[in-house]
A and B are shown apart, each in its own frame.
Chain A
């Protein structure tokens, strides 16, 4: 039996009654016929299995009759766990599916690459910052794109970005400025201002010195410690752990006790803890688990008209398009605006609903 039923019974001040169908394994081998038969047998009687209490007002009598039962508290006297406040995730289809995101709970969003996890994440951040809340993103792989975040409507002034990486030392200006497609990256000078640096990566290739497993462990340690600190600090409306690019094997190395600690830290607070990953890793600690499927393109999207550079359109697009093949090219916006994202609600401890899914479409920031 779920906690929701217990809360309802207690909230209505009705005698708490177990649902015999829901908990058949704890039912007594015999049922008392009436209230008087529910009286405890004397202590000298042979030991009996624990009985289920039908009426809470009998508990005091039972305790007075047998001190061994004094520690037993009727369920109706337990603290009522209030239903968490649900807030919008920023996408109406997701809200319709889940009822929103619960405050004070851990929500997991999992899915493969290009499944819309970051889209959903940015939508949630945008909704939270629109509500005036401060948010934090603990970015395990340093993948957040600030331009995408702004296009999604995120107020960047209210977003704390923690970029976890391999080197805890501050990156120099020469390492940061410039991009792999620029020249003379090694001739730049170090920036004296370490706080204000231009976040343009300049490393031309990969660093093969560190193994991927070492990098994952290092980043994971940074992520967990930074998350601990943020949860301890408090005051954030939404804290996001972006583990989406970590290998599932590395993400699964996070002990379950860590997730319990995180869940305990945000309990009874307005903070939402949201994790992005490839596979579910928090187990029973998450209150909601959303699984996103691979993105698909909508079939009724018209082809683009970018004709300047003479790009050939896909074959199926050419077939669908009635216009001249010279103009049948896929535009920037049209390639990405037709993405359909399938979200499936796998676990929800808040509302007992069967697993069901919803499909929503995305658009590009430059499509208008």
Chain B
């Protein structure tokens, strides 16, 4: 039963590089602590001469060094991405450490190919998620974890070769968990240091030497802990994974050292976050229908006392929610939509932190057809609608929904959705037959035209409009009135008499709908029949 291990070496640096990919070519150091006692805790390979334990002031002497504070946001996002990577290959995943994930690959060979192919696929998926991970596959999980910590890149250990392959590794890989995770004053750290010192006095430098020690003698001197370490060195342990169900939380955040004032540089940061979110969602075969963008803004008000952090800079939150009619997974579309939204609703203050969360949803599945009429592509349509909304206003574009009222303008605008035609065809029967003749249509004047009406026996005989010269003339024919009223139980009560008129103008006869407001007392031309 093969197991795989994903191990992200130098995790704080990897998390920082995932948040800022442009730092890959630069020396990077991560520091931690309260000023002025900030110390370097991790560096990448390019930071030559900088070692963990140096003070920040010492590291700052290197001009090209990129110094970044340790960020729990970045590390939690990187950890979630690593679990997403693992979950995309196996449902049985153990969250062994913040930088280590173990996978049960039983039965996966028939689905994903041979073990080297699986390891390559895992490594590529991790790289897509922004993580440079070591991947190892072995017949037991502990061997896979040791190989992932000890060997760079991809490693596949065939069954029976565990001791031979693990032999050259140094003894420190056995205690990597305790040495990295625990504080210096922890008991496990002290025990690990004591065991390492003892083994070093015996001349044991690597796992091969440890595996070759006699078991009884080792048990007499180091106890059960010594035997456990020897079993690990031999690759002979066996245990079941403690499977965890990674929560479907897709969040990315970035804290900015300097506040962003313009929307254009903000777009670069948003693009990075959106790409990471989309890759994570894609690795779990999910899409999103709702994006929540939270911007923490710098508050320059000197009277603002409620500071979120301990420093002097107080912040306020600015939230925007992007709701989509259908699940989508396109970072460029999301970015354009957010840009249009922020252009229409700018934050109004410098941005110091960006937090973005995606609500996961199953991707849409639509069966297309060769002979179906074309329909707008959902992503393109959303962008188009957003751009048109920025032109004419958000409330002036969309589909119409008629309301259950007798009010002549009883409708409302709603979001326009391009659904598959066959679904709508099943839902709704055609309202009219195909052999329908032309129906006289009304063109509404919005707002209605106020007119002067000459009455004779309470009936209009002449209409004149000061605003529109075309709408005037003697009434040639008329029909009506038709009385209507409604909403009398509300403040927006209305009551009216409607007339259909044919006006004889100079050029031709035109047909209008004339309305007499019974509550307000005015006369209006509501539209023309065309």
Contact = CB atoms under 8 A, between A and B. Distances in A.
B413 A197 contact: yes
B68 interface: no
Given A156-B399, A294-B509, A181 B495 contact: yes
Interface string A331-348: 110111101010000000
A130 B392 contact: no
Contacts of A145: 441-444, 527
Interface in B400-430: 400-403, 407-419, 421, 424-425, 428, 430
A330 B477 contact: yes
Contacts of B529: 114, 336, 339
A143 B391 contact: no
Contacts of A201: 409, 446-448
B520 A183 contact: yes
B409 A200 contact: yes
A260 interface: no
A113 B385 CA distance: 31
A244 B530 contact: yes
Interface residues of A, number: 114
B528 interface: yes
Contacts of B449: 206
B371 to A, nearest CB: 10
A170 B393 contact: yes
A165 B305 CA distance: 45
A162 B408 contact: no
B402 A147 contact: yes
Contacts, number: 331
Given A132-B372, A148-B441, A312-B459, A177 B492 contact: yes
A294 B508 contact: yes
A159 B411 CA distance: 14
Contacts of B384: 229-230, 232-233
B530 A116 contact: yes
A326 interface: no
Contacts of A177: 492
Interface string B378-391: 00110111011011
Nearest to A314: B477
Interface string A141-176: 011111111111101111111111101111100001
A61 to B, nearest CB: 45
Interface stretch (B99-107, B224-232, B353-361, B432-440): B432-440
B393 A114 contact: no
A312 B390 CA distance: 51
Contact of B434 (A119, A130, A245, A330): A130
A162 B479 contact: no
Contacts of A142: 396, 444, 446
Contacts of A152: 436, 438-439, 441
B479 A334 contact: yes
A188 B479 contact: no
A235 B439 contact: no
B495 A364 contact: no
Contacts of B202: none
Contact of B520 (A112, A116, A182, A295): A182
Contact of A169 (B387, B393, B511): B393
Interface in A73-113: 90-91, 112-113
B394 A195 contact: yes
Contacts of A295: 509, 511
Nearest to B419: A157
Interface stretch (A22-30, A31-39, A355-363): A355-363
A297 interface: yes
A222 B409 CA distance: 23
Contacts of B88: none
B519 to A, nearest CB: 6
B431 interface: yes
A132 B491 contact: no
Interface string A31-63: 000000000000000000000000000000000
Interface stretch (A120-128, A250-258, A283-291): A120-128
A300 B394 CA distance: 48
Interface residues of B, number: 99
Nearest to A341: B438
Q: Which of B395, B470, B476, B487 has the most CB of A within 10 A?
A: B395
Contact of A113 (B401, B470, B491): B470
Given A116-B530, A171-B395, A200-B410, A183 B439 contact: no
Contacts of B403: 198
A275 interface: no
A180 B478 contact: no
Nearest to B524: A180
B374 interface: yes
A162 to B, nearest CB: 5
Nearest to B530: A118
Contact of A156 (B400, B482, B507): B400
A143 B528 CA distance: 9
A184 interface: yes
B35 to A, nearest CB: 45
Contacts of A236: 374, 376
A324 interface: no
Contacts of A226: 388, 391-392
Nearest to A329: B479
Contacts of B448: 179-180, 201
A244 B445 CA distance: 12
A188 B491 CA distance: 9
Contacts of B409: 179, 199-201
A234 interface: yes
A73 B457 CA distance: 78
A332 B437 contact: no
15 contacts: A90-B436, A113-B470, A114-B530, A119-B530, A133-B373, A148-B440, A157-B417, A160-B399, A167-B393, A181-B519, A183-B519, A195-B394, A233-B381, A270-B374, A295-B511
Interface of B: 372-377, 380-381, 383-385, 387-388, 390-403, 407-419, 421, 424-425, 428, 430-432, 434, 436-450, 457, 459, 467, 470, 476-482, 487, 491-496, 500, 502, 507-511, 515, 517-520, 522, 524, 527-530
The 6 A-B pairs with the shortest beta carbon distances in the complex, nearest first, are A235-B376, A181-B517, A294-B508, A153-B432, A233-B384, A118-B441
Given A179-B408, A206-B449, A225-B391, 7 more contacts: A115-B530, A118-B442, A143-B445, A201-B446, A233-B377, A244-B443, A336-B500
Interface of A: 90-91, 112-123, 126, 130-134, 142-153, 155-165, 167-171, 176-185, 187-188, 194-206, 222, 225-226, 229-230, 232-237, 244-245, 270, 294-297, 304, 306, 309, 311-312, 314, 317, 329-332, 334-337, 339, 341, 360-365
